[in-house]
Structures are given as structure tokens and as C-alpha cells.
Copies of this chain bind each other. A is one copy, B any other.
Amino acid sequence: MKISNLDLGFIQMAFAGMMTLLSFGNASAQEKNQMVRMAKLVIDPTQLENYKAILKEEIEASVRVEPGVLTLYAVSEKENPNHITILEIYESTEAYRSHVQTPHFLKYKNVSKDMVKSLELVDADPLVPGMRIK
């Protein structure tokens, strides 16, 4: 069989295309394992500033030291500042299980337990997995 330069070019392009498809396939497989959740909390208004300080500390530690904690994006509602929502994204359920055993998480849980009036955990599916924040 004779292989011309043209054929070689085509083979190279086809190979590059296959690798691209494979790498996309990989990315979505990784994203499929993600665990996405909204935590909805109501905080004792008299404890709100204390609570925000310890939540901030916990979030910054988690994102810094745990590669599997992809984000913990917490917001306080402008009209009800003691209503907090946290968008939690973990690389996998294993990453989540490991997260809740870390010293910084356990400290947060312990220190905040009397500040949190209610906590609702809402499991969710992202519409565009892999979406980032610019």
C-alpha cells in the first residue's frame, strides 16, 4: 500500500480529531461525578456577623486545601441578610465525604451549631456542567 503525503496529513488530522473527542469525553465523565448542592440556612440575626466570619474562614480553608472542593459560593440575601445560600460543588461524592471530616469543617460545625436556626440541603443537577466564574 502506498501512503502519500496527502494521506498522512489526513491521518494526522483524523487522529487529532479523535484525541479531541476523547478528551471531551473524559471531561464530561469527570463532570458527571460532581456533586452539586444548595445549602439554605437561616441564621440567628443576633449572631449573623459571628456566623459570617466563621463561615468565611471555613470556606477559604476548604477551597485552599481541598482540591476536591470546587467551590463554596455563599451569598446573603439583601432583603433578608440572615438568609444564606451556599452553592456547593464537589469533584465527587468521595471529595464531599472527605470534606466533612476535615478539622476546619468540624470546627465550623461545632462553633456554628447554636447560630444556625435552620438548614435545608437541596441536591441539584447543573444545567451546564463545567460552567466557571470568570
Chain B residues with CB under 8 Å of A78's CB are: 122-125
- How many identical subunits does the complex contain? 2
- A79 contact from B63, B89, B123, B127, Cβ within 8 A: B123
A/B interface sample: 28 pairs, CB < 8 A: A38-B75, A52-B127, A56-B127, A56-B128, A59-B127, A59-B128, A60-B128, A63-B134, A67-B134, A69-B134, A70-B134, A71-B133, A71-B134, A73-B128, A73-B131, A73-B133, A74-B126, A75-B124, A75-B126, A77-B122, A77-B124, A78-B122, A78-B124, A78-B125, A81-B125, A84-B127, A131-B133, A132-B133
Which A residues lie at the B interface, using CB under 8 A?
A: 36, 38, 52, 55-56, 59-60, 63, 67, 69-79, 81, 84-85, 87, 89, 122-128, 131-134
